[in-house]
Amino acid sequence: MLSVSENQLIGTIPKEIGSLRNLTILSLSNNNLNGNIPSTLGEIESLQRLYLGGNNFHGSIPNEICLLSNLGELYAEQNELSGSIPSCIENLRGLQEMDLTHNKLAFIPSSLWNLETLRYLSLSFNSLGGSLDPNIRPSRVLEIMDLSWNQISGSIPRVIGSFQSLTSLNLSRNSFSGPIPNTMGNLITLDFLDLSHNNLSGQIPKSLEALSHIQYMNFSCNKLAGEIPNEGPFMNLTSRSFMENEAFCGNPILKVPPRASNSSKKSKIKINFRYILPVIALTLIFSIGVYIVKRNHGNNVQSQNLIDSYATTGHRMISYLELLRATDDFSEANLLGVGSCGSVYKGVLSDGTVVAVKVLNLQLEGAFRSFDVECKVLRTTRHRNLVGVITACSNPELRALVLHYMSNGSLEMWLYSHNSCLNLLQRIGIMIDVALALEYLYYGQLEPVVHCDLKPSNVLLDEDMVAHVADFGIAKILAENKTAIQTRTLGTIGYIAPEYGSEGRVSTNGDIYSYGVMLLETFTRKKPTDEMFSAEINLRQWVSASLPNKIMEIVDGGLLRMQNGSGMVTSQSILLAILELGLECTSDIPVERSDIKKEVGVQRVRMENLIAIVHFEIK
């Protein structure tokens, strides 16, 4: 065995390595080696395991690799390899595991599917194109197949349903089209299925209801339509698995319309007019009302105008008395938390709806302005990763917002609770949700919104552990085509970007800095204000000095205990990528930080792909 992984080696692999004829294991992973993979590797006939991942190898995979008849494991992930996987790959008759992720490979030879002993195949994050051969040979032993993040087109072969040992199938982020084969219902051992972000059409086959072991399914971002199956594993799915498709119907819990009856289809025109006419009338009433208000009440208080607007946008108004009843006179037993501008209480409305009531502290300087800003932001934004507003209440004694109740508390509570611990999959999912919220705030409307106070206590979790960004009390709304404004209102120490304190300059770059701090905190469980940090070293510098070799020393110990020793190599590479993103987002120079539309968009989908990997490492 020759193992020199993670030693910061540079240069190329010498051709003379082929003289090590009796070598069974060669591990060169996670160094800085470059150049081509030497063809002389094919001369090591006794080689059983070859690990070349995490280097800078380029060029094609040499055909001579196919001479390694005893090879059982081939790992060459995270390099710059290009061209095709050698068509002679079928000669590796004992190959059980192959990982070529994060390269530039362009083609899958049909001979690959002749590997009868292959159990693990990961080719994600390449440039693989073309279509899958509809007559590929089904495997009886392949357990994990990951072809995500490529450019594969055409239909999903029906023969995929004959891969009888598959436990994980990830075909997401490709260009697959046509229907989902109903033969997939034969994959009874499957517990992970991701078909998201393709061009699949038609209905989800009811045969998938037979997948009794499934724990994760994702059909989002396709062109699927029709009724969503409602038995078997579909009973435990949320709307997240079906978002951004054509025209689903089914269980209202999934946030899709109920199945339409024949009579409802016939009355489609009537239904349209039933909704259109009130909207037209409401618009006219609103326009007339605005005119009257402007003419006769031009000096009204701005916050009252904002509150009144809820009545014209479908939100029912709520009285002070009803809020008192809902919160048991704002009982301390119902107090959920205290923020910079007020307190939040749990309440139950008269119709049984459980809500969170945010009550403004009117004694604080700037309290009314904070309330006005939050009203305006929440009134004009709608996104699944923002805390939704139900209604508002405004009178001389009270300013309150009634918000959707988040039953699982805040990210801060989960990070620092002694009774709870988030696993790797959950932490990644939460940070994806926050990134999605930011992307919407900056690019989902004409006037970008800068949150200005991103931190774990302002990230709330619903019953499905989906994250929602909250508390827009000091948010800034940028005028169209304006990238920054000045402010004297600062966020929370430790999370605010350096330019906030020195220049008072608010821009989306400041939120990205806060997002980066949250990333580092979420995976190290160290607050930026922890007593271990000082003027000499902060959270960012501590993490930077520990990467890559000491990464497992700074990661949250509770997270490592949950890993239970399994999949630690994969987990380490995942954590390294996440912490490096955190460092990139927290650069002291704003222009060096990731652009949210380009970088967070890329990192968001990178993290989504990691969920598939983590799922198998942590279970």
Which residues form the catalytic set?
453
Coil, helix or strand at residue 317: coil
Secondary structure of residue 55 in the 3-state scheme: coil
Alpha-carbon distances of 257 from 204, 250, 251, 269, 522, rounded to whole Å: 16, 6, 7, 17, 37
**What's the rounded Cα separation, in Å, for the pair 411 and 424?**
14
Distance CA 389, CA 434 (A): 18
Is the sign of the CA dihedral 292, 293, 295, 296 positive or negative? positive
CA separation for the pair 616, 619 (Å, rounded):
6
State how far the alpha carbon of 152 is from the alpha carbons of 128, 132, 159, 176, 598, in Å: 6, 7, 17, 6, 23
Rounded CA gap, 73 and 117, in Å? 11
Give the dihedral of Cα atoms 87, 90, 94, 98; nearest 10 deg.
Answer: 40
| Segments in 301-410 forming alpha helices (H) | 302-308, 320-326, 367-380
116/138 Cα distance (integer angstroms): 9
**Alpha-carbon distance 78 to 59, whole Å?**
13
Cross-strand partners of 342: 360
Q: For residue 383, give both structure tokens.
A: 């996104």
Phi-psi region of 342 (alpha: psi -120 to 50; beta: other; left: phi over 0): left
CA atoms within 13 A on the CB side of 346: 12
Torsion over CA: 283, 289, 291, 297 (sign): negative
